[in-house]
Every structure is written in C-alpha cells, then in structure tokens.
C-alpha cells in the first residue's frame, strides 16, 4: 500500500517553504489542543480516534444488517442531510460504476437518497420509483429533529407502511441517531426499529466513519473494513508524535492558512475523475461549515476537470487572483482503454493512437497545473494510487484532521455551525411553527413593509 501523498511544492512560488515551515510550532500546539481536548468544540472530538476505536462487534453488526437489507430489497433509501448525507453520498459515488443504473443487479440493491432537499418533484418522483420496487429505509439524523429529513421520512414511512403493512415496514426501517435524545430516537424506540448510535462526541460532518457512513456504504456492497483501515492509517500518520514535515494533514492546514493570509481567500478542490464529484461536495461542507465564521474563512469551491476547464477554466486562469487550487490526483484508473488508430485520421488524432486515455488525462492535469501556476494560482496536490475503500478512508480522515487544525489556526471553533440556524429561524417563522409566534409576527411585519 503506497498511501496518500501530499505535494505543496507548487505553493512555494507564492508562499515560501520557510513560511509554511514557520507554522510548525503553532500546528503542534493546535494538534495538542485537539488531542488533549482543551480547545473550542472539545466535546466533539470523538472522530479523532474513531478509526482505531471502532469495535469489531459494531462492524460485524453493521455488515450483518447490510447483508440482511441487501438480501431483502431492491432499493435502500438513505434519508438525511448535511453530515448525515454528504459523506455517504461521496463514498458511494466514488466507488460506483459510472453507469450502474444500466447494469442491473451487478452489486445488489441501489442506495439512493432523500431528505437532502425540500423537493416536491424529487419526493414525488422517488415515490413513483418506490411504488414499483421493494425497498428499505435508513433514516439518519443526529439531532433527530432536522426538518428536511423529517419530512421525507414521514412521507416514506407512510408509503412503506401502506405498501407492506406496519409490521413488515418496521423490519425495513433502520434508524441512525443519538443514543438518548431527539424525536427520531423516541419514534424509533416506540416503533421498535433497529437502530445504530451516532456517538455523542462526533458532529455530523465528521461522522463518515461512524454508522452514519458505514451502514449505507456496506449496504451498497463496499468493504467498510478497508474504509476504516485507510482512515486508521492516516490517523497514525498524523498523530501528535509525527514530525510536522511528515504529517500531511498538518502541512495541508499550514499551507492553506499561509495562502489565505497572502490573499488567496478561495480554495478550489479539483478532480480529474468524475467519481470524486461528491467527495468535493462533502469537502465543501466540511470546510465551509467548520471555518466560515466570525467573518473569516477560506471559501471552499470545487470543479470537475477537464469538464470545467471549458467553463470555469477561463476564470481560474485570468479572473480575480484570490484563488488557490487543491487537486485530488488519482494515479491509476481501474480500467485500461487506449485510443485506436484511424486510417482516415480526419480528426487528426492519430498522434494519440496507442496511448491510454489516462495518459491524456495526466497530461491535461500537468498542463493545467503549469498554466495555473503561470496564472498565479498556487497548487496543492493530494495523490492517491487508485480509488478504493482504503484510499477514500485515508482521504476522509486526512481532510478531517487538517480541518480541525486549520480551524484552530484560523481561531474559530471548527466543530459548531451556529450560522445554519438563521435560515431555519426564518423558515419556521414563515411556516408559523408553534413556539415561533414572536418571530412570525416580526417576519410578517418585515415583509409587509
């Protein structure tokens, strides 16, 4: 196993190596604060050692539950939003065949999602599908009170109960929630649903290596032991004892903070493999919710190359110069496909004949890197050998650890998300939720002005 590699040498033309190395003591202090649990958000640090703390008993239980569901149904609907959705979606998308919808039955049931939006069309169209298929529901909410998944679950639960009868429906619903608190816990205990616990000390966006991510990933047919093993490898490589220069999460946190203070206030996560598109969505949530506070924080954006070189590429090359780029580079694809010779050569592509598609992709990546450096866009490169459960486990933990350090470098609490409440308060006031009478009056006055 070669393992995840980090290369920040293409930051040096913009921020010197010495500047990045200058973060060494600060990073060590923040890493110590994380491990000693003495900083902001210290009651949400269970993820730090989750890969090594997870028990074999829990993994067996998750695998057995997944096997039971896979045997029983054609579709598993995962209901959740934010940290109860994005990590799972990221890993399953990265692992899935690009055209899995057209290759029925290859890996067992499809895992699909609900509760990550408030879409009347989305839910209605989902029900159209579920009318025709046998299905189960995994409902995930740490608080157990989040509106979007609660609405979706209410609708799907009713549908499943009407379709299968209440008893069979309750065999097909699994809840992942807090051990004691929240409406979902209450409902789950009352209805007798099987349930898994989200540890108290692990917040949503840091929960991919808990049942939140592990159960759906196992349901999709992927190896959660390897996924945990990859994370464990990174946990060991980024420990308090690891020298700064050898700790990829520490260096990444230092480099991006150094870039931020040099005026590079937007970070673009780029990939050259569409399977990683949702990993970027998860990463945006991780960094956006963790760091965007107190009028501070790097703005996390994402692009999928080479597609976006034909859209956002122009801006990245020549627009406002507040950007830096972090590329997730995959060394080897799973497949082998070469470009054929063509006798007519009307498309003038014979110069590529015999080359692998991946070689062309690599040259697109290298060419873009050089062009972007010329255009004053610093580049950080995170390399994995191939996309599999192990490397994805590494990537998730690598970014989580760096995010904890980076948030402390920025002097914010990387484990809360107070800003998310603002829209909820207005929405509840507009919907006249009991308990929000004053807010309803105030918002109506504001709108009637």
Q: Which is nearer to ligand PA5, 41 or 203 (CB)?
A: 203
Q: How far is the CB of 31 from ligand PA5 (least distance, A)?
A: 22
Q: How far is the CB of 81 from ligand PA5 (least distance, A)?
A: 5
Catalytic residue among 158, 261, 355, 424: 424
User: Which residues, 6 or more positions from 128, have their beta carbon under 8 angstroms from its beta carbon?
Assistant: none
Catalytic residue among 289, 325, 394, 400: 289
Helix axes 147-164, 183-191, angle to 10 degrees: 20
Q: Which is nearer to ligand PA5, 43 or 342 (CB)?
A: 43
Cis peptide before 185 (omega within 30 of 0): no
Q: Which is nearer to ligand PA5, 143 or 265 (CB)?
A: 143
424 as an active site residue: the answer is yes
Q: Which is nearer to ligand PA5, 289 or 394 (CB)?
A: 289
Q: How far is the CB of 285 from ligand PA5 (least distance, A)?
A: 6
**Residue 445: CA count within 13 A, CB half-sphere:** 6
User: Which residues, 6 or more positions from 73, have their beta carbon under 8 angstroms from its beta carbon?
Assistant: 109, 133, 134, 135, 136, 172
Binding site for ligand PA5 (CB under 6 A): 81-84, 141-143, 146, 149, 203-205, 289, 417
- Pairing outcome for strands 5-7 and 379-384: antiparallel
Residue, CB closest to ligand PA5: 204
Of 79, 64, 392, 103, nearest to 227 by C-alpha is: 392
Q: How far is the CB of 280 from ligand PA5 (least distance, A)?
A: 16
Cα 32 from Cα 11, distance rounded (Å): 26
Q: How far is the CB of 154 from ligand PA5 (least distance, A)?
A: 14
Of 370, 378, 376, nearest to 252 by C-alpha is: 378
Cα 277 from Cα 304, distance rounded (Å): 7
Q: Which is nearer to ligand PA5, 199 or 204 (CB)?
A: 204
Q: DSSP assignment, residue 356?
A: B
Q: How far is the CB of 34 from ligand PA5 (least distance, A)?
A: 17
Cα 235 from Cα 192, distance rounded (Å): 36
310 as an active site residue: the answer is yes
232 as an active site residue: the answer is no
| Bridge partners for 197 per DSSP | 177
Catalytic residue among 104, 310, 336, 445: 310
- If phi > 0 it is left, if psi is from -120 to 50 it is alpha, else beta; for residue 263 that is left
Q: Which is nearer to ligand PA5, 233 or 300 (CB)?
A: 300
Known catalytic residues are 289, 310, 424
């Amino acid at each position: 196993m070669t393992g995840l590699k980090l290369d920040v040498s293409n930051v040096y033309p913009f921020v010197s190596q010495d500047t990045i190395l200058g973060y060494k003591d600060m990073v060590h202090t923040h890493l110590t604060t994380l491990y000693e649990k003495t900083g902001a958000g210290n009651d949400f640090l269970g993820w730090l050692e989750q890969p090594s703390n997870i028990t074999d008993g829990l993994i067996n239980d998750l695998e057995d539950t997944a096997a039971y569901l896979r045997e029983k149904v054609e579709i598993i609907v995962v209901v959740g939003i934010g940290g109860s959705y994005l990590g799972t979606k990221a890993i399953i998308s990265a692992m899935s065949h690009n055209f899995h919808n057209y290759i029925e039955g290859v890996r067992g049931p499809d895992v699909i999602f609900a509760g990550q939006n408030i879409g009347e069309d989305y839910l209605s169209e989902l029900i159209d599908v579920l009318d025709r298929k046998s299905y189960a529901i995994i409902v995930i909410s740490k608080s157990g009170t989040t509106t979007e998944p609660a609405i979706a679950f209410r609708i799907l639960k009713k549908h499943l109960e009407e379709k299968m009868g209440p008893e069979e429906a309750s065999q097909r619903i699994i809840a992942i929630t807090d051990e004691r608190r929240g409406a979902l816990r209450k409902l789950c205990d009352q209805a007798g649903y099987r349930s898994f616990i989200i540890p108290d000390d692990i917040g949503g966006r840091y929960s991919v290596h808990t049942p939140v991510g592990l159960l759906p990933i196992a349901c999709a047919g992927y190896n959660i032991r390897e996924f945990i093993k990859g994370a464990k490898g990174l946990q060991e490589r980024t420990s308090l004892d690891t020298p700064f220069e050898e700790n990829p999460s520490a260096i990444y946190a230092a480099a991006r903070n150094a870039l931020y203070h040099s005026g590079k206030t937007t970070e673009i996560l780029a990939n050259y493999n569409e399977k990683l598109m949702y990993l970027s969505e998860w990463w945006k949530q991780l960094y956006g919710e963790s760091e965007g506070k107190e009028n501070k924080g790097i703005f996390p954006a994402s692009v999928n190359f080479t597609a976006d070189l034909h859209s956002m590429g122009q801006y990245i090359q020549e627009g406002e110069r507040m950007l830096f780029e972090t590329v997730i580079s995959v060394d080897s694809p799973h497949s082998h496909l070469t470009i054929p010779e063509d006798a007519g050569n009307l498309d003038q592509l014979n110069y590529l004949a015999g080359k692998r598609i991946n070689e062309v992709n690599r040259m697109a990546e290298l060419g873009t890197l050089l062009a972007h450096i010329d255009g004053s866009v610093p580049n950080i490169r995170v390399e994995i050998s191939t996309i599999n459960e192990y490397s994805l486990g590494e990537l998730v933990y690598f970014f989580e650890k760096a995010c904890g350090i980076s948030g402390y470098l920025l002097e914010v609490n990387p484990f809360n998300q107070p800003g998310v409440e603002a829209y909820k308060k207005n929405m509840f006031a507009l919907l006249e939720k009991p308990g929000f009478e004053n807010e309803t009056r105030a918002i109506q006055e504001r709108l009637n002005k």
